[in-house]
Structure 1
Amino acid sequence: MPSLTRDEAVARADLLTVSLMEVELDLDRGAQTFGSVTRIHLTASGDGQTFVDVKPETLHRATIDGADLDVTSLREGRLPLAVTAGEHVVEVEATMAYSHDGEGLHRATDPADGEDYVFSHLFLDAAPAVFACIDQPDVKAPYAVSVKAPPEWHVIGNGSGTIADGGVWHLAQTRPLSTYFVALCAGPYVSVTDEHDGIRLGLWARRSLRQQLQEHAPEMLEVTRRSFDYFHSIFGIRYPFDDYDQVFVPEFNAGAMENPGCVVVRDAYLFRGAVGRDELLTRANTISHEMAHMWFGDLVSPQWWDDLWLNESFAEYMAHRCLVEATEYTEAWVDSTMSRKSWGYGAERSPSTHPVAGSPAPDAKSALANFDGISYAKGAAVIRQLIEFIGDDAFLEGIRDYLTEHSFGNGTLAGFLAAMSRASGQDLAAWSAAWLETSGVDTIAVDRAAGTVTRRAPADHPAQRPHALDIATYSGGVESSRTTLTLETDSAPVAGVDLTAPLVLPNAGDRTWATPLLDEQSLAALRTELPAMTDAQARAVIWVGLRDGAALGQVDPRLLVDLGEAALVTETNDSIFSRAGMHLTNRVIRVLLPEEEQDAARARMTAVGEQVLATAEPGSSLALHAARLVARTTDDVEGRLVPWAHGRDLPVGLEGDADFRWILIGQLTRRGILTGDEVDEALAQDRTMTGQLGALTARAAIPTEAGKAAAWADLTTNRERSNHELVAIAAGFWGPADRSLVEPYVERYFADIPPMSAWLGEDALARVATMAYPSRFVSERTLELSRATLARTDIDQGVRRAIVDAQSELEEALASRRAFPAARP
């Protein structure tokens, strides 16, 4: 289907204003389709030809002011519409299809009890698959929604709901919303409710997750209350919508979606087994992030998709700030460095890198291709630099100005900069051009001999970015000096730091967006300094800097393995231990190291896990992560994998943990020790959605020709699979020790994955394409096949972006292996 262009959106917004959307949905028609009736109350500024967006299974009728429209004129989701100046009502009746790819109105069946659950996800252009509309972010309108549902179902939406005779739910009319924020969740959901500061709070989940919901509700509600208090205190505008519901739904594509008053969250956050503190922090960050969107994104929405950063960068920054200042998760910026900024730096290294803002998006799908770690993590880092530049008081004053001026409307980069300039009294044009409107990440290095600090922008993305940063030095793991400065030129003298110290660390506090390059003396000192360092933020900066260095072919991946062995055994921060451990096992060892060195390096990580498991407090978060590290890496089948899988000799806190058991089952299946029948037996003991996904991953890992053929066919031809099921299959496919079993599928990936766009949504397929990419096969042949695929003109944009990014990582791996080859025997 054609993607709405910016020119089309501008013309339509000039012609049409929508004053009210009336939407009637009938969800009581079975599991495949639902009824949709929409009345669009609009005003035309003049006579003109335009169109309504609608993507039905069947379009039954359409009228304007009671006169029939030609329903046979519908083409590719666009129903032509001729209007005259003045007010009109367009009514559209259609039968719509439920989706199974996480877009539109998604319907999922819970295998635990056979109950069905429905939720909407209308970002970026999926709203017309639920109701007819003028689908663009700058056409906002109030919504009056009614829903007919089965009698045992509960309906949750943007407005509080009441049920009338006939099983019809009426949701309170909303304030003006962009189409992609309309929310609907329906099914036999269960809830925990509360009230805070006059706002009714609701947490909702599948009936089979009632126990987990009740167990986790107190902590989640506490984060919710504290976030409300904090944002009210700094924004100067009260929460501007109705009740505040957070609905935990199955098979959601993202972490969460910020629908006003009805936040949709992936229900994997209702942890059913042992959980690490970093995982609780991630969930708390998601809760706070989505709440920040009630102001940034919902109250003020982007005028066009290339200003999505005004949503995500601010929510990313505000959530971390809120956690640090208003909750117990005071280490949130350390977690941001390890999880979020590393994601953003990876996006910056890719050929698909783009500016935070001002990147022209000629159509909606082009904007979606630029929706990544740059939009989130880099944008948040740039906001921290803006605060350094204009001061926090001016920043908060500018926010209040911006939100007040554009309330229930739309914002732009120009409007944001104008508000910040008024508050600070500074012209921000040059600052914006350097930080928001250019791509690339600078490197920051200290020259000990010259006593200077230098910055270097990427050659293909030149820029003059001023960096407010700090430089710290360490000896014996203890900070020996620190200085702060603003680097406005390519080189500047460094004063106030001990340049004779073993370790000199630029950007030690992670205040800016840059890759710290360590000098040779500092790199050599890491083996002794990093294990002894008490500054968690500095440790995180080192790990992420080394990650970048290894990806760029500047740091030997063996150094990262050495440091993992030396430093992770003394690591006390959950985010650092878990994220560094995952990066070492999944990327450094599995991809960057030569194949003949991988087994030995993996065994060293097993030893790290065993040592931490033996010394950490039993049942602690670090002990949990250590046990997971052992389970992922050990070759001790009889001493570890088999007894743990059978519930024997488990670490404290992992007794009965079904999720941990699926890790073990996957490892045993990958080795050919468990068969498909035994996977079925395990699934019979865990008939949940999570168990189903674990079984799909384990079954896809079966190391036989027949097993691989069946898994590949399931992945690439089974149109009944949900988005999450496909990702689970892809996750288990490439792992056998005998690489020859899957090598034929390297070529088949490039032939079989792109055509799946015929039945799978773009966002869902992009996730499948990323997970299924044959990254384990680091060869020129894989690169040749990848490049040939990207040369085709018939590739879906989401798949293209997934392959571009995966290919970039493949090229990094090839460069690393050339720079640091295996030693000759």
Structure 2
Amino acid sequence: MTSLTRTEARGRAATVDRPRYAVELDLTHGETTFASRTVLTFAATPGETTFVDLKATELLEATLNGEPLPAEAFAHGRLQLTGLAADNELVVRATMSFSRDGSGLHRAVDPADGEHYVYGHSFMDAAPRVFACFDQPDLKAPCTFTVTAPSDWVVIGNGAATREGDVWHLAETAPIATYFTSICAGPYVSVTDEHDGIPLGLFARRSVQAQLEANAPRVLEVTRRSFDYFHELFGIRYPFGKYDQVWVPEFNAGAMENPGCVVLRDEYLFRSRVTGAELLSRDNTVSHEMAHMWFGDLVTLAWWDDLWLNESFAEYMASRCVVGTGLYPDAWSDQGIVRKAWGYSAERSPSTHPVAGNGSEDALAALQNFDGISYAKGSAVLRQLIAYIGDDAFVAGVRDYLQRHAHGNAQMSDFFAAMERAHGASLTAWTDAWLRTAGLDAIRVDVDWDDESDVVRRAEVVKVAPEAHPAQRSHALDVAGWTDGEEVVRARLTLDEDRRVVHELLDRPRPAIIVPNASDLTWATVVLDEDTLRRLPEQLAQVDDLAARVVLWNALRDGVALATVDPRLVVDVFAASWPLELDDSVLSAVGRYVPDVVVAVYLPADERPLARERVADAGAAALQAAEPGSTRALAAARVVASTSRDEELLRRWYAGRELPAGLAGDADFRWLVATTLAGDGALSVAELEEAHAADATVAGTLAWLGARAARPLSEDKAWAWAELTEQRGRSNHEMNALAGAFWRSGDTAVLRPYVERYFADVPAMCAWVGDDAMARVAKLAYPVQLAEPETLQRSQAAQGRSDLTAAVRRGIVDQESVLRQVLLSRDTYRG
């Protein structure tokens, strides 16, 4: 299939105007295909030629202005239209296929009861897998859907639904981009409500009705507060009528902001105990998707190089909302330890790109830029913009932008024209440095002090721009210092030059630790001085400033990746500090990062057992110190369950005996224990099959696949690899479960043959797996845990191939950069 280029989109937008869709879908034709009929009316330049996008299994009929189109007009996912009139009607009747990769109309079977569910994900270039359309964001159109479905199914879509027998009529929408259209159908159950005149609906699979009802009060509270907050902030009411949120199985992303029909992954309907960080993640996602109703849906980007106008703003606005409404006062720290850490990693990759103007020349290339830069860096840059022009000017500019471009499209110049009107001055230099240039500065504090008196004689904060992406960025930040838990200095400053004296540090005793960007206000790599690094194991836990602790953990993470911090030091800091941490987000994020990345990837294989024991001991210490049944206790128990080598303890927990308080009957915790036991070869295939039979749910099936793939023997790896790369019936989430657990255990001799197979077998999966799903599979299945020069050689050779899709190439490029980081770290810090 051909991917739409920017040049083609411009040409088509210049030819056609005022499109309107009436789409009929019949979902009663079986489990593999459905019928689609599109009536597309549009104005055009008379005599011109254009095309519609159509990814049909079979084209049955196509007429333009009453005249049949020839068979040869349909090829490579496009239907050519010639001899256009001033006003046109295109009718297309086709057979379409349900997908298993999370795009188009995805059809899933709930293993708990055998019921079938359909959801529509038209994102990027998937809408033509559902109906014939001008699939580009700047040809927004009203849409009407009529859906025929089995008699016991419910149909939800962008417009309000009415039913006549088995036929559902969805009200015409306001003008929306094709990538926002969605149809969800199946025996969904619901919880309904209303707020401020807006009908609210929550929908989920029938088998998880109890989970839906248990989670609904909190979700509805977040929904109501977010509506109130955004209505006041933007000065524009929600413009799309009703507001449904549908939790669906096997969704590729966290959620999708379809107006009136937000789709979310149903893992967010928690069935087990969760930490505060997980609850925040879900609730932040609810607010994030609502922010898109204004940034993305009401005002839509003109082309994908302005993706940041959608994602950076939703990312920023969601955190602002959950903080501003009092739902999560510390959400900015969660943004730092989770999202900014993700973004910093993306900046280190060769695939880094500017926040805006990312050069997406076609739709599939643009898909690769839905990453930590477009989300996390963009959000952080908006905070810097506010520090630069003030919040009042920022809010005024946002309102101006939304009002001027409501129900239309906009680009970067439109947004900054509004900001400059509010600010009263040009922002060109600022946007060039922060938005049009990739890379991030490194910021450190250079300190000299008298050895005898410990008094500081020189202190300068230093900014170093990356050689590959030089820019003059202005940073609003602070520098703070602590000694034995007491904050002894804090300097707030704007760093325009390359270095600046920190007068507040001079002529006073050197703090035990000095933290640049202590309030986590700017976007930069924080480089800690050697004395601070040396004293972190004893000092970090005593710092009572949450933002500073986040900055310190991110500095360690960045230092490991850049080979400026020994990963063994991170284990030391974890062992000393993590058991005393009180913040849920830090506990959860660091509790995953240290065992899963530092220990399992960066440390040499012969050092991992001891490091794993130290991590498990820290988890046990935190569990003992935590209040029984608290979220802190849950985070600690998970660390123990995932790292302990005490088979007797894990066996007792697996059997449901002597569990930490609150975890009796917790299916997800039991699977975590099972995966650790399986990875150590201590849980048999038969035992895993028995556990799966007892939890034959979507979540249980995914957990079983991961535990099964984690088993270390050669026959286990052969089974898992075949299930991943040869079994075409596996869903996107099932492939992720297999790929994510494959490399976590097994002797090097057992795993090494699969390095070569990765570069042969995974790209071949593109024949039946879509790009959105393949992006995740390619990343998860990459053999970064087998960090050897031979792995790097095979990876480099693979990049020379011309047959890699953009998604697979991006996965290889990004993971190869991590592989290089691991090899450099081991070479720098040889044990």
The alignment's TM-score, normalised by the length of structure 2, stands at 0.98
Counting matched residue pairs gives: 820
CA deviation string 1:305-329 (max 9, x = no partner) = 1111100000000000111110321
Give yes or no for the alignment of 1:663 onto 2:672. Answer: yes
Could you tell me which amino acid in structure 1 is paired with residue 758 of structure 2? Y
1:73-222 equivalences under 5 Å are: 73-165=73-165, 167-222=166-221
TM superposition shift of 1:578: 1.2
Distance 1:701 1:364 in 2: 36
Distance 2:47 2:295 in 1: 35
Distance 1:85 1:30 in 2: 38
1:431-450 equivalences under 5 Å are: 431-449=430-448, 450=458
User: 1:770 corresponds to which residue?
Assistant: 779
1:612-631 equivalences under 5 Å are: 612-631=622-641
Give yes or no for the alignment of 1:302 onto 2:301. Answer: yes
**Which has the higher mean CA deviation after the structures are superposed, 767-776 or 70-79?**
70-79
Distance 2:160 2:503 in 1: 59
**Which has the higher mean CA deviation after the structures are superposed, 283-292 or 589-598?**
589-598
- Kindly indicate whether the alpha-carbon contact (under 8 Å) linking 2:34 and 2:98 is maintained by their aligned counterparts in 1: yes
Distance 1:673 1:120 in 2: 41
- Kindly indicate whether the alpha-carbon contact (under 8 Å) linking 1:226 and 1:327 is maintained by their aligned counterparts in 2: no
Give yes or no for the alignment of 1:493 onto 2:492. Answer: no
Give yes or no for the alignment of 1:551 onto 2:561. Answer: yes
Could you tell me which amino acid in structure 2 is paired with residue 246 of structure 1? Q
User: 2:802 corresponds to which residue?
Assistant: 793
- Kindly indicate whether the alpha-carbon contact (under 8 Å) linking 1:351 and 1:805 is maintained by their aligned counterparts in 2: yes
CA 1:327–1:262 in 2, change beyond 3 Å: closer, same or farther? farther
TM superposition shift of 1:102: 0.3
Could you tell me which amino acid in structure 2 is paired with residue 10 of structure 1? R
Give yes or no for the alignment of 1:33 onto 2:33. Answer: yes
Distance 1:517 1:733 in 2: 34
TM superposition shift of 1:358: 1.4
- The secondary structure found in structure 2 opposite 1:492 is strand
User: 2:462 corresponds to which residue?
Assistant: 454
User: 2:722 corresponds to which residue?
Assistant: 713
- State the 4+ residue runs in structure 1 displaced beyond 6 angstroms: none
User: 1:256 corresponds to which residue?
Assistant: 255
TM superposition shift of 1:797: 0.7
Distance 2:413 2:38 in 1: 35
Give yes or no for the alignment of 1:391 onto 2:390. Answer: yes
Distance 1:311 1:477 in 2: 41
- Kindly indicate whether the alpha-carbon contact (under 8 Å) linking 2:562 and 2:821 is maintained by their aligned counterparts in 1: yes
Distance 2:306 2:735 in 1: 31
User: 1:636 corresponds to which residue?
Assistant: 646
CA 1:580–1:109 in 2, change beyond 3 Å: closer, same or farther? same
TM superposition shift of 1:593: 1.3
- The secondary structure found in structure 1 opposite 2:504 is coil
TM superposition shift of 1:731: 2.1
TM superposition shift of 1:506: 0.7
TM superposition shift of 1:499: 6.7
Could you tell me which amino acid in structure 2 is paired with residue 19 of structure 1? P
TM superposition shift of 1:19: 3.3
- The secondary structure found in structure 2 opposite 1:530 is helix
Give yes or no for the alignment of 1:463 onto 2:471. Answer: yes
Distance 2:499 2:706 in 1: 51
Identity of aligned residues (%): 55
User: 2:790 corresponds to which residue?
Assistant: 781
* Unaligned 5+ runs, structure 2: 449-457
- The secondary structure found in structure 2 opposite 1:301 is strand
Distance 2:597 2:366 in 1: 29
Distance 1:787 1:31 in 2: 41
User: 1:568 corresponds to which residue?
Assistant: 578
- Kindly indicate whether the alpha-carbon contact (under 8 Å) linking 2:600 and 2:744 is maintained by their aligned counterparts in 1: no
- Kindly indicate whether the alpha-carbon contact (under 8 Å) linking 2:23 and 2:39 is maintained by their aligned counterparts in 1: yes
Distance 1:88 1:354 in 2: 41
User: 1:474 corresponds to which residue?
Assistant: 482
Distance 1:509 1:305 in 2: 33
- Kindly indicate whether the alpha-carbon contact (under 8 Å) linking 1:594 and 1:821 is maintained by their aligned counterparts in 2: no
TM superposition shift of 1:705: 2.2
CA deviation string 1:117-169 (max 9, x = no partner) = 1001111100000000000000000001110011111111111101014x110
**Which has the higher mean CA deviation after the structures are superposed, 605-614 or 589-598?**
589-598
Could you tell me which amino acid in structure 1 is paired with residue 721 of structure 2? W
User: 2:24 corresponds to which residue?
Assistant: 24
Distance 2:711 2:540 in 1: 40
TM superposition shift of 1:73: 2.6
- The secondary structure found in structure 2 opposite 1:334 is helix
- Kindly indicate whether the alpha-carbon contact (under 8 Å) linking 2:245 and 2:263 is maintained by their aligned counterparts in 1: yes
TM superposition shift of 1:701: 2.4
Distance 1:745 1:593 in 2: 21
Could you tell me which amino acid in structure 1 is paired with residue 514 of structure 2? V
- Kindly indicate whether the alpha-carbon contact (under 8 Å) linking 2:647 and 2:682 is maintained by their aligned counterparts in 1: no
Could you tell me which amino acid in structure 1 is paired with residue 19 of structure 2? S
Distance 1:16 1:333 in 2: 44
- Kindly indicate whether the alpha-carbon contact (under 8 Å) linking 2:59 and 2:94 is maintained by their aligned counterparts in 1: yes
CA deviation string 1:309-354 (max 9, x = no partner) = 1000000000001111103211101101111000000000000000
Distance 2:712 2:583 in 1: 37
Could you tell me which amino acid in structure 1 is paired with residue 490 of structure 2? R
Distance 1:528 1:742 in 2: 39
1:368-447 equivalences under 5 Å are: 368-447=367-446
Distance 1:232 1:627 in 2: 41
TM superposition shift of 1:680: 1.2
Q: CA RMSD in A?
A: 1.1
TM superposition shift of 1:369: 1.6
1:511-530 equivalences under 5 Å are: 511-530=521-540
TM superposition shift of 1:448: 2.1
Distance 2:205 2:382 in 1: 38
1:1-20 equivalences under 5 Å are: 1-20=1-20
User: 2:762 corresponds to which residue?
Assistant: 753
TM superposition shift of 1:732: 2.4
CA 1:593–1:707 in 2, change beyond 3 Å: closer, same or farther? closer
Distance 1:187 1:590 in 2: 41
Distance 1:392 1:651 in 2: 46
- The secondary structure found in structure 1 opposite 2:75 is coil
TM superposition shift of 1:476: 1.2
Distance 2:133 2:192 in 1: 33
CA deviation string 1:786-809 (max 9, x = no partner) = 010011111011000011110000
Could you tell me which amino acid in structure 2 is paired with residue 247 of structure 1? V
- The secondary structure found in structure 1 opposite 2:310 is helix
TM superposition shift of 1:737: 4.1
